[in-house]
Each structure stands twice: as structure tokens, then as C-alpha cells.
Structure 1
Amino acid sequence: MKNKRATLINIFAALITLGVQMFISFWLSPFVVGKLGEEAYGFINLANNFVSYASLVSVAINSMASRYISVEYNSGNNEKAKSYFCSVFIANCFLYGLILIVSILFVWKLEYIVNITAALVFQVKLTFLLSFVNMGTSLIGTVYTAAAFTTGEMHYNSIVQIISNVIKSILIFSLFFFLPAKVYYLSLATLIAGLVTLWGNYKVTKKLFVDFDIDKSYFDFSKLKVLLKSGFWVLISNISNLLLNGLDLLFSNWFISSAIMGRLSLAKQIPLALSNALGVFSNIFSSALTKVFASDDNNKLVDEANSQLKILTMFFTVPYAGIIVFGYDFLKLWLSDTSYTGTQFVEIYFLMILVLLDIIISTYMYSIHSIFIAIDKVRIYSVVMLVSSIISIATTLILLKCTGLGVYAIAGTSTVILGFTHGVIVPAYAAKLLHRPIWTFWKTEFGSWVSLAVICVVFSVVKNFMAFQNWISFFINIMIAGLIGYILEFILIFSKQEKKEIISIIKLKLIRK
């Protein structure tokens, strides 16, 4: 009960973060597209993709850092936890120096790697450079997120993210409103917001880890070797995810056009805002699973993972169904000031749904992914994902060469392959590792998909009685549909006992207030 209460508190904080992120994606994307055009806008997200490529060099160390710090800290081994903490920070500073040198050389020759309109070369180069500098800021600050993870106080990180996102929004609006539009404004604002995040997480660490300071005497290369050994397979997994989802804009730029790249980038904004929120939930759930793992009880681990799957389904299925059913109407209002034709609106809608399906598949197995990290068994999972990603890339290239599917081949192939891998293979393997029947997680996952189908059908029926002339009518109708959806989700997903527990937690919070 205590575990669930802490998880729910962290989730409510994460939901606020989700709301802020959705608001930013909601008003920011058409605002920037209107100022820059879809081609220039596409380069902003392409820069972020390249940053994700570069950040892979740090994954092997950082992916398991919070896990090891948490296990040692919660086992009472504070000195070992401090050693991991300091070793990771010092290693990240060294990596940042290397990445910065390579990124400067890369940006210098960028126009020979990516197709860039001549008039945008300088702006795009500066955008990439600022993005790489911001990556370094995030890298150095990674270790400062471990305190909230270790203590289960993830809502502190959510508060920092909210403040950072608000500052980022104000900066972007101010730069575009008061100065001539430039591509690099978004990267500049993101860098400043990243510095705010670094400072905020540092303060959180000082609050939660009172006696944890960066001390070079605690640096231990053997600790890094432990992290590298465990994190290597997480690195392989991240490379797989990059091959599955991170090359779409680059392929669009290389094989189709920078304009289509911009259109795909726009179609990804709302789904990716949900994906970012999903990442926040992942940290919360991974923290909870790691604590349960320390109790050495597989039954509790399975129960916790299934509970987390249900919570993810509860919170995310309604927005997913809303995008599927009301997404086209949303796009017509959202991009009303652009020059897109009806055919282009349909294209953006279908691309958005293809990207969304990818995220839905990941959502309904996200806590299962955290199991592999919690029990430190990521090798086979990573190999399976790598094979899937190679098949996905090969299939995409064949479809681009031999068919006229174009951008749909880029956006859709990974969704199909990821669906089978994440939906069928991964849950079965997780169940096997926990010595449970292979259908242990399939049942909960299947229930999630059934609930999505039910909510979509209900929303489709309700939509027949709605009209979307303007934003006011749209939001009123969406709020009504959302309320109906969440009531249905609560009824469909949770057992009778789980409903009682959740209601008692909410009542307890209200009484305390």
C-alpha cells in the first residue's frame, strides 16, 4: 500500500509535467512553423536526433548508474553509493570534453552530411552546435537525478522539469516575438532551460542526499567497469531503439526531401510529448521496481510490474484514443494558419497515427522493460531488440527503393516490427526470467489493447454528437469525452480490490489537505 501511495504521488507530479509539455508542443510547434516554415523547423528536430546519436557514448555508464546507487543506498552501503555517484560524475565530465571536440568538427562539415538550403547553413550549424552543448549540460547533470530516483521522490524531478519547460516557453516566445526569426532560437532556449534543470536537480540532490558531494577521492574505476559491464547491453538496446525510431528524419532528408522531413517532424510533436511523459513514468516505475527487487521477492516484482502496466494504461489510453479519433479535427484547428492543403492534412494525420502506434506499443510494455534493468538482465533483451532494429532498417530501405510508399515506409515499418517484438517476445521473456508462465504479462497487455479499442469506439460514437467550429467548442467536447473515457478506463482496467485501494489513497490525500 505504501509503495502504491508513493507511486501515485509521483504520478500526479508527472501528470503536471505532461500537461506542461503538451501545452508547449500544442502552441509552440505551429508558432515556430509559422515563423520559419516546415523545412527550417525540421532541422531543429533533426539536430535533436543527432544529439541522441552522440549521447550513445555515455549510455553504458549512465543507464545503470541510478540503479546501482539506489541498490547500495537502500541496502545501507552509503560509501559504495557515494563512490558510484562521484565516479559517474567525473566520467561524464571527461566524456563531455570528448563529445564537444568531435561535435565541433562535425558541425564544421555539416553541409556535406545533411542536405541544407544554402540560406540556412549558418543557422542550422549554430542550431546543431547549441544542441550538442546542451547535451553536455544534460550529461553532467545526469548523476543529480539519482537522488530522487533512489529515494522514490521523483516528484521533485517533475517540479524541476515544469519550471524548466515554462522558462523555455517564455524564452522561445520572447525571442521570436521581439527579434527576427532564426532557426537556432529553440536550441538556445533549450540550452538555457537545460542549465536551469541542472541547477534544480543539484538542489534536489543536496536536499535528499545531504552528505553526498563530488569528491575525487571517491572515484573508483572498478565501479565504472561494473557499470560498463551492465550498461553495455543497455547501450545495445538504445542503439536498437535509435535504429527503430531515431533515423526517420534523417532518412526523410536523404531519400525524399527536407520539406517532407519537416512535415514528419510536425506530425511527431504531439505523440512525442506523450512519449517524453512516458519517460518520466519510466523513471518512477524503475525506481519502484528496483526497491522491490531488493526485497528478493519475485511475486512482488510481478505484482508491481502488472500494477504499473495498469496505471500506464489508465493514464495514457484516453489521450491515445483521443488522438486517434479526434486527431484530424485537432490538426485542422492547430495548423489553421498554415498553407497546408486537405491532402497534406490527411498525410500529417496518418503520419501522426503511425508514430503514435509505435508509442502505444511501448507504453503497454514499459514497466516490463524496467524489469530487465531492475534485475540486471538486459543482455538477451538487447540482442532481440538489435536484431529487430536491423530487420526494420533493411525493410525500410527496401521499401524506399522498390515501392512508392515514401515517408509512410519510414514511419510505418518500425511500428510493425516493434509491435511484434515488444508486444509478444519481450513480455514472454520477462515472464521466463521471473519463472512465471509466458502469458503472465500478455494478459495485462491484452487488457490494455482491449480498453483502447473500447474507448476508441465510445469516442467515435460520442463524436457524432459534437461539432468543432473553434478551440472553445473543441476543448469543451474533448473534456467531456475525456471524462467519459477515464471513468470507463477505471472500470475496465482495475480489479475491485485495486479500485478500493486507489479510492482510499485519494481520500487520504484529500483529508490531509
Structure 2
Amino acid sequence: MGNKRELTINMAASLIQFTINIGIGFCLSPFVVSKLGAEAYGYVGLANNIISYVSLLTIALDSVAGRFITIAYHQGEKEKAERYFSSTFMADCLIALVVAVVAIPVTFNLEHLINIAPHLVDDVKMLFAFLFVQFIITSVSTVLTVATFITNKLYLSSLANTGFSIVRLVVMMVFFGFLPPMVMYVGLGSLCGTFLTVLLNYRYTRRLTPELILRKDAISWPLVREMLSSGMWNVVIKLQQVISFGLKLLVANLMINPYKMGMMSIAQTVPSMVSGLMGTISGLFYPAQTRYFAQGRVTELVYDMKFGMRMCGFFTVVITTVTCVLGKEFFLLWQPGQDPKMLYLLMLITMMGFLVSGAATTLQNVPLIVNKLKTYSISWLLFSITSLPLTWILIKFTPLDIYAVAIVPTALEVLANVTFVPIYASTILKVSNWTFYPVYLQYVASTVLSLTVCIGIKHLLHISSKTWVAFFISAVIYTAIASIITLLTLLGNRERNDLWDIIKRKLHLKVT
């Protein structure tokens, strides 16, 4: 009962955060593009991608620290949890120092490393400087986010992230409104939002887990090595993601041109948000799944995995359907003056990866829960290692141009999520290799059916979406249709009953 109540609150907060971020992103992006132009806006996405490369230095520790602290905490070893906590903080401080030493010369010599228009050099350098400082502050304070994970109060993290988005918006609007337009305001807004997030996470830690205190005498370098030995394989996974997706804008910048890099950056806005939602929804199940594994309750863990796959898939199917059906109209309204066909095709190619990843995202938690990351990470790396040469070949020898940059990572993602992820998850959980494939089939069927019905209705009824009012009315209609289809075809009886019980409890009705 408690788990379902926590899941309800966490999921509601996550969806509210997602909705706010979507609203801010959709309103802010065209505003910034209109002020700066597509080329300048492209450097925002490029800077964030480069920051993701730098995060390889911290992910080995931070990706597993929460697991080690949580398991020690729930096993009653509060002193050991505190040692993990303090050790993680000190190690992150040292890593942040290394990042600062490297970031300073990189920022000062940025125009020699990437293509930057002469009139944007100083502005882009300041953008990178603000984002590097943000990364350093975030790295040092990452351990403070573990409190909401330990207590399964992830809705508080959603509130903190919502605060980040609002502060970022306010800062950017003030600077763009009263000063000459500059791309560095985006970085400054993110930095200001980060200060609020750190403050809130500190308060959460003190309130939820007062036993976890940063103490110098609790620092243990052997514990840091223990966590690094486990988390180093997450670096390989992150490297795979960088190769497959993070290099998109850099490849576009170096091999095509900055303008098309900017178009790619704009087109990735919706897929990035959907991908973030998938990670958030699947992450809501992670605390309970970790507890099930620690207690040896494999049957409950497998059921929770399937439930997580279906719930994550439910939202992904609905959003993907609406986005694909209304994508052309959306870009015409959202980015007037840009090439809507190019933007739509680039977005559509990336969204095709969600045909399977919406169900697979939850399964990607399994190797971390079981602490068997080596084979998983190496296999993913092998899947993606061919991304760069394949992209280069398509750019050089086919007319695909910028579309090649989107096609290759998406195709590799689909291949890996279909052939490897479910089988490996089944293997390390010691269940049948076909355990999770029925959910896959239901998920794909739900997606195809939802798209077919919505596209058919659009062409049959000639529904217009040429104004924002008509667009939102159409979006509501297609959302309702896709939701009903997905509810009936993706969720099983048990999942529908559980979901209905959650809704009834939320409405304070009696559960029979």
C-alpha cells in the first residue's frame, strides 16, 4: 500500500515537472532562436553535449554511490552509509578540481577547437564558462540528492528540478528583455537555477536523513575504490551514449556546418524531453526494485520491472504518437521562419528509436541493481563503436547529409534494445530469456495501432492544426485516443487494477 502511494506521489510530481519543462522549453526555445538565430542557439546544445563528455569523470562514482549508500542505510549500517556519503563528497571535490584545471584553458582557446563565427567567439566562451561552473557545483553536491532516493521521496527532487527550470526561465527573460541578446544568458540562467537546486537538496538531506553528515574522519578511500570498481563500467555505458548521441552536434558542426548543427539542436528538443521523461518514470521504480533485490524477492522484482516497462511505455507511446502526427504543424507554429520539413524529419528519425526504448529503459536499471555492469557496458560500447565511421560513410558517400547524423545512432539503439537488453536482464535475474519480450510486443503493437488510428483520423476528418488553438485541441483529441488504445493494449489486467487502485486512493475512494 505504501509503495503504491509513494509511486502515485512521485509519478504525479514527475509529470508536473515534465509538463512545466515542456511548457518552458517550447516557449523559450523559439524566443531565444528569434533573438540569436539558429546558428547561435546550436552552441547551447553543443555546450551541453561537451559537458556530458566531461561528466565521464564523475559518473564512475556518482552513478553507484546512491546504491551503496542506500543499501547500507536500509541494512541498518548507518555508520557505513555515512562513510560512503562523506567519501563520495570528498572524491567529487577532487574530481571537480581536475575539471576546473582543464576547463579554464579549454574555454580560453575554444575558437581553436570548434567552428565559431568571429562575432560569437566571446559570447560562446562565456556560455561555456557558465556551464562549466554549473557542472562543477553540481558534481560537488551530487551526493546530496541521495536523501530523496533513500526515503523514496523522489517527488521532492522533482520539486527542486522544477525550481531550477523556473529560476532559469526568469533569469533568461530578464537578461534578454533588458540587455542586448547574447547566448551566454542561457548558461547564466542554468547556473542560477543550480544554486537553488543545491540549497533545496541540502535541506532535504538534513530533514530526511539527518544521520548522514559530512565528516572528515568518515572519509575512506578504500570505500571510494570499491565504488569506483563497480561504477567504472558505467563510464563505458556513458561513453557509448556519447558516441551514439552526444557527438551528433559536434559531428554536424565539424563535418557539415554550424547552421545545420543549430537545426539539429532545435529538432532534438522534443526527443530529449521524451527521453528525460522515460528516464524519470523508470527511475521511480528503482528504489523499490533495489529493495526487492536486496531482500532476494526476484518474483516481485520481475513483476515490478514489467509494471515499470508498461507505465514508462504508456507515456512514451502517447507522447510519441501525438508528436509524430502533429510534428509538421508544430514546427510551423513553434519555429516560424525555419525549415519545418528538415526539423520534422530530424525529430521523426530520433523518435523512431522510442519504438522500443520506451519499454527497454526500465530494464536498463537491472545491471546496476544486480551490480553486473561489465558485460552490459562492453556490449553497448560494441554496438555503438561503429557509429562514427558509419556516420562518416553516409555523409561522404550518400546524399543524406545531416539526416545521416540522426539515422545511425537511432538504428544502433533499436538494434541493441531489441537483441541485447532484455536477454541480458533475464540472464542476470536468472529467469527465462523470453520473460520481457511479451511486453515489447505489446508496446510496439500499441505504438503502431495508436499511430495508425490517429493518422487515419487526421486524414479522414481533415483536422486542421494551423493555429495554436487548433493545434492544442487536436493534441488533446489525439492524446485521448492514444491513451485509450495504449491503456487497453499495453497494460494487463493486473496493471490496470493496480493503476485504478492508485487513482481511487488518490481520490480518497474505498478500494474493494
- Scaled to the shorter chain, the TM-score interval is over 0.9
In structure 1, distance between residues paired with 2:288 and 2:397: 47
In structure 2, distance between residues paired with 1:51 and 1:396: 22
Going from structure 1 to structure 2, the CA distance change for 1:2 and 1:360 (only over 3 Å counts) comes to farther
Q: Aligned partner of 2:84: which letter? A: Y
In structure 1, distance between residues paired with 2:170 and 2:287: 32
Match of 2:489 among 455, 473, 492: 492
When normalised by structure 1's length, the TM-score is 0.97
Q: Which runs of 5+ in 2 are unaligned?
A: none
Match of 1:374 among 366, 369, 373: 369
In structure 2, distance between residues paired with 1:292 and 1:482: 34
DSSP 3-state at the match of 2:372: coil
**What residue number does 2:6 align with?**
6
Q: How does 1:47-66 map to 2 (within 5 A)?
A: 47-66=47-66
**What residue number does 1:460 align with?**
455
Indicate conservation of the 8 Å contact 2:147/2:208, yes or no.
yes
In structure 2, distance between residues paired with 1:361 and 1:43: 30
Q: Does 2:171 correspond to 1:176? A: no
Going from structure 1 to structure 2, the CA distance change for 1:240 and 1:443 (only over 3 Å counts) comes to same
In structure 2, distance between residues paired with 1:492 and 1:282: 20
CA deviation digits over 1:28-64, x for unaligned, max 9? Answer: 1111000000000001111111111111101111110
More displaced, 358-367 or 180-189?
358-367
In structure 2, distance between residues paired with 1:211 and 1:435: 36
Q: Aligned partner of 1:496: which letter? A: N
CA deviation digits over 1:145-203, x for unaligned, max 9? Answer: 11111111100100111111111111111211111100100000000001111111111
Going from structure 1 to structure 2, the CA distance change for 1:359 and 1:95 (only over 3 Å counts) comes to farther
Indicate conservation of the 8 Å contact 2:282/2:309, yes or no.
no
**What residue number does 2:472 align with?**
475
Q: Does 2:429 correspond to 1:437? A: no
DSSP 3-state at the match of 1:511: coil
More displaced, 112-121 or 1-10?
1-10
In structure 2, distance between residues paired with 1:374 and 1:100: 32
Q: Does 2:437 correspond to 1:408? A: no
- Equivalent residues, number: 508
Q: Aligned partner of 1:481: which letter? A: Y
In structure 1, distance between residues paired with 2:211 and 2:302: 34
In structure 2, distance between residues paired with 1:6 and 1:215: 31
Indicate conservation of the 8 Å contact 2:329/2:466, yes or no.
no
Question: Shift of residue 276 of structure 1?
Answer: 2.0
Indicate conservation of the 8 Å contact 1:252/1:258, yes or no.
yes
In structure 1, distance between residues paired with 2:495 and 2:51: 42
Q: How does 1:45-444 map to 2 (within 5 A)?
A: 45-336=45-336, 339-340=337-338, 344-444=339-439
Q: Aligned partner of 1:232: which letter? A: M
Question: Shift of residue 500 of structure 1?
Answer: 2.0
In structure 2, distance between residues paired with 1:16 and 1:219: 38
In structure 2, distance between residues paired with 1:223 and 1:24: 41
Q: Does 2:30 correspond to 1:30? A: yes
When normalised by structure 2's length, the TM-score is 0.97
In structure 2, distance between residues paired with 1:452 and 1:372: 27
Q: Aligned partner of 2:220: which letter? A: D
In structure 2, distance between residues paired with 1:44 and 1:497: 44
Indicate conservation of the 8 Å contact 1:252/1:407, yes or no.
yes
Question: Shift of residue 2 of structure 1?
Answer: 3.6
Indicate conservation of the 8 Å contact 1:249/1:264, yes or no.
yes
In structure 1, distance between residues paired with 2:17 and 2:354: 18
In structure 1, distance between residues paired with 2:150 and 2:441: 32
State the identity as a percent. Answer: 31
Q: Does 2:491 correspond to 1:504? A: no
In structure 1, distance between residues paired with 2:137 and 2:253: 28
In structure 2, distance between residues paired with 1:504 and 1:286: 21
Indicate conservation of the 8 Å contact 1:22/1:274, yes or no.
no
Indicate conservation of the 8 Å contact 1:462/1:481, yes or no.
no
More displaced, 7-16 or 150-159?
7-16
Q: Aligned partner of 2:491: which letter? A: F
Going from structure 1 to structure 2, the CA distance change for 1:122 and 1:360 (only over 3 Å counts) comes to farther
In structure 2, distance between residues paired with 1:335 and 1:401: 29
Question: Shift of residue 497 of structure 1?
Answer: 2.8
Question: Shift of residue 359 of structure 1?
Answer: 4.4
More displaced, 437-446 or 301-310?
437-446
DSSP 3-state at the match of 1:467: coil
DSSP 3-state at the match of 1:63: helix
In structure 2, distance between residues paired with 1:132 and 1:209: 30
Q: Which runs of 5+ in 1 are unaligned?
A: none
DSSP 3-state at the match of 1:501: helix
DSSP 3-state at the match of 2:353: helix
Question: Shift of residue 401 of structure 1?
Answer: 2.3
Going from structure 1 to structure 2, the CA distance change for 1:496 and 1:283 (only over 3 Å counts) comes to closer
DSSP 3-state at the match of 1:364: helix
Q: Aligned partner of 2:402: which letter? A: V
CA deviation digits over 1:275-314, x for unaligned, max 9? Answer: 2222322432222211111111222211111110011011
In structure 2, distance between residues paired with 1:381 and 1:187: 34
DSSP 3-state at the match of 1:440: coil
More displaced, 352-361 or 23-32?
352-361
Indicate conservation of the 8 Å contact 2:370/2:428, yes or no.
no
Q: Aligned partner of 1:225: which letter? A: R
Indicate conservation of the 8 Å contact 2:82/2:211, yes or no.
no
In structure 2, distance between residues paired with 1:30 and 1:72: 47
